[in-house]
Structures are given as structure tokens and as C-alpha cells.
Structure 1
Amino acid sequence: MATTTEKKSGGILETIKTIVYALLIAGIFRSLFFQPFWIPSGSMKDTLLIGDFLFVNKMSYGYSYASCPSIKIPRFGINIDATDFCGWADGDNTRLFGSEPERGDVVVFRHPITGGDFIKRLVGLPGDKIQVRNGVLIINGTPVEVQPDGKFVEVAEPQGPQRLSPRCENSPVGTGGTCEKSKFVETLPNGVSHSILNIENRNSADNTALYVVPEKHYFFMGDNRDNSSDSRVPSIVGGVGFVPYENLIGRADRVMFSSAGRSMLFFWTWRSDRYFKAIQ
């Protein structure tokens, strides 16, 4: 007959085993199927807002080393990168069960140098010639169709956990004032239409050099065109540059819910109009 001490030790062991199994199952699910992603910045406004919570479909493009999870919790000193799990698969720019992304997809990918997760819109495919002139995207020598669509309006106040203040076309705007950006509908060559925002046409990202996208690489841009670090600037000088095929993590299809507060746990700040909102 088991003693009380043996029962307690057995119960603790079973609890530990249950936790380990749960973590393994969660890790496998996160690696193979869906990865949670919380939008930290305004680079994809108004398609995605700071505080949007979504799941990234990892089955969309197959699997590579980037499909393995990264676990970063600075508060507890945890910094486990995908390469720590799957570094053996890094470097050949291939994918298992791979399929090609489509122009216009909203994609989460690993930054080619820092390894951080980014989310942007895919506008350039391998072999494409990409340039931006006066804020207009030009693909293979043809400007994309752009139609005015009014104004995007938000409150000029700190947003999200990083307390980022939005940039405004009608600056200067005091805290609590109305922040405006010009809104357009951009239609890509394959017929995909989506919203983009404009603040000014004076910065270098509005007038770029001509880029030729290498084989098995992609060119990404944020929908908030004047507030996005993307492929218009090479990765070696602080941008994103061309993104290798193997760095794609998955496609973002739908916002699950959205928090306008400092934490997604502040349910009273959730935006009622963004539950299960399709990403276009």
C-alpha cells in the first residue's frame, strides 16, 4: 500500500508530466499549423491596427527552419530562437511541402538579418522589377492603379504597449486631436485591391532606385507607406531588403480580435468592429 509521501511525489510527477506534454503539444501545433501574432506597430494601417491579434497560417507556404517557434520573454531572460530548434535546416532557401505565395498576400516573415518577425504585404515576386516614384508603386515598368478613398482618421495619442504616437498628414496635431492620413485603394497586377495610406511624398522611400527581385526572394511593403520599414531599404542599412523564400512563416488571413489598450488582456478596450475581420 502506497504511503502518503509516495502519493504526493507521484502526484507531483504526474503534474509535471502533464505540463510537459501540454507544452509539447502546443509547440507542435504552433510549429505546424498556426502561430499567434499581435500587431505591435502601425506599419500596416489601416489594414491592420496596433493591437490586432491574429493567427498566422503556417500551412500556406509549407515549412522551413522559420516555421519553428521562437520563444522570447526578456522579463525572464528567455531568448530561444527558431535557429536553436531548426538551425540545421537554415541556409538552402527551400521549403518542405512548399507552395508559392501570391502577390498581395499579407505575410509574416523573419527579418533576413535580425531574425525578428515582421508582417508586410507581398508586392514583388522573383524576377520582378520594382520601383516607387512619387509614392506610386511601379511593377515591371507599369504603375499600379491607385484611386483616392477619402481619409483615415484616428486620435493623436500613444497607442499599444510601446505607446507609439501616430504620424499625421495634417501635422502638427496635439494629443487628443484628430490625426488624418490620405487613403487610397491600390490594385496590384493580379487584381488584388487593398487600402494604403499616405502622409507625404518627400521621403526617400517614396522615390526609390530600381530593384530587381532575385530568384527565390520577395519584395514587401507596408500599407502605411510613409511609416514602414520594408524592402524599399536594404537590410544592411536598417530596412528589410529582399526576403528569402525560406524566411516566410505564413499568411495572415483574419483578425481574431483587437485591443485598443496597452494589453490584449484589457478586454474592455477590445474593438467591437474587428472580431474575426478578414484581412484584405
Structure 2
Amino acid sequence: MLLVLAVVVAGFSVAEPMRVASASMSPTYELGDEVLVGKLAQLAGTPQRGDVVVFHEPHTGTLTLKRVAAVGGDELGIEDGLLIVNGEPVNEPYLDLGSVDGAYFGPVHVPAGHVFVLGDARAGSVDSRTFGVVAEDDVVGRVLLRLWPHRSTTQSAARTERPPTRFSPGVARG
């Protein structure tokens, strides 16, 4: 019994299932999707631009899921809804174009040891534009894969009843 408990505890320290609790990462991850989050540095690594990460939101500590838009040393801005990093426009094929407004933001310099995160559904996302940069130490891990529902990140799927699972996933706001 202790061996089983040790294996379960060790497993959750390496990777943990979590449920997406908002629609701000749509269409990549929808409300109710379940994802596997790699928590060890070997699985998660240093956050890179484009990674979808789970982190403790500054000031509240709430677990949140967003995409890394810029890393330490980068300068970021949004011009007419277009993400600009270090003076170059960023190709973002994962964006929900219907949720991109003509907003302007920045420029912002991201300090070393921090990341700037954005939701894929930009117009409705509470992200670094609201709460500021996130310390790399507050990043819990990187999303490795979607556990449920089984679909590609570019395919829209109708919501159905969630199948029974053997775990109690953590909840991460999208």
C-alpha cells in the first residue's frame, strides 16, 4: 500500500492532470478540456515563447493557464491587435481571430527571470496585460498534451459528457 502511494505521489510531482477552467485559451484549449502538465524541469524546461504554461497568477496565487508571448530580455508590444516581439511581428496561427481586437499595448520590457503571458482568446483574456509579468519561479509546468477530449488543437469539438477519470485533476483557469 505504501509503495502504491509513493508511486502516485511521485507521479504527480512529475506531471499532473488539470482541467481548463475558462475559455481564454480558446480555440487551443476549451473550457473543460483536461491537460497533462509536465512539472519537472526536464519535462517543462525553461519557458519559451509559444509554450502553454500553468502558473501561479501574481497577487492572487490562482493557478492559471496561458501562452508565453515573451521571455526575459524581450520587448513586447501589441499594435492594432498584432503581437510584436523585439520589433518583429509574431505569427500566431493558434489565435481565435474573432477575439483579436484592434488593441494597442506596450511596449513592455520583460525582466530576466520572468515571462509575459497572453490568452489565445485575446479580447476576453485576463493575462500579463492586466496582472503584469510572471516570475519563472511561479511557473508550475508546461502543458504536454490534451488528455480529453481527444482532438487536434486546430479542430473544434462539440462538448459532450466527460468520461469518468481515475484522477482528480487540478483546476487551472484558462
TM-score, normalisation: structure 1: 0.50
1:250 counterpart = 2:141: yes
Maintained 8 Å contact 2:47/2:115: no
Q: Residues 1-280 of structure 1: matches in 2 within 5 Å?
A: 18=1, 22-31=4-13, 33-59=14-40, 61=41, 99-145=45-91, 186=92, 194-197=93-96, 198-199=98-99, 201=101, 206-233=103-130, 235=131, 241-258=132-149, 260-261=159-160, 264-265=162-163
Q: Larger relative CO (CA 8 A, sep 6+): 1 or 2?
A: 2
Maintained 8 Å contact 2:100/2:121: no
Change in 2 beyond 3 A, CA 1:249/1:140: same
Structure 1 residue 242, shift from structure 2 partner: 0.6
SS in 2 for 1:196: coil
Cα distance per residue 1:109-140 (max 9 Å; x no partner): 11122111111111101011111121111111
Structure 1 residue 47, shift from structure 2 partner: 0.6
Q: Which runs of 5+ in 1 are unaligned?
A: 1-17, 64-97, 146-185, 187-193, 236-240, 268-280
Maintained 8 Å contact 1:50/1:260: no
Structure 1 residue 23, shift from structure 2 partner: 4.2
Structure 1 residue 144, shift from structure 2 partner: 2.2
SS in 2 for 1:210: strand
Structure 1 residue 99, shift from structure 2 partner: 3.8
How far, CA to CA, are the matches of 1:218 and 1:224 in structure 2? 18
SS in 2 for 1:195: coil
- What's the % identity of the aligned pairs? 31
How far, CA to CA, are the matches of 2:113 and 2:49 in structure 1? 14
Maintained 8 Å contact 1:39/1:52: yes
SS in 2 for 1:119: strand
Maintained 8 Å contact 1:56/1:108: yes
SS in 2 for 1:127: coil
Change in 2 beyond 3 A, CA 1:129/1:102: same
Q: RMSD across aligned C-alpha pairs, in angstroms?
A: 2.5
How far, CA to CA, are the matches of 1:245 and 1:254 in structure 2? 21
Cα distance per residue 1:179-231 (max 9 Å; x no partner): xxxxxxx2xxxxxxx310133626xxx22131100110001111111111111
Q: Which runs of 5+ in 2 are unaligned?
A: 150-157, 166-174
Query: Counterpart of 2:155?
Result: none
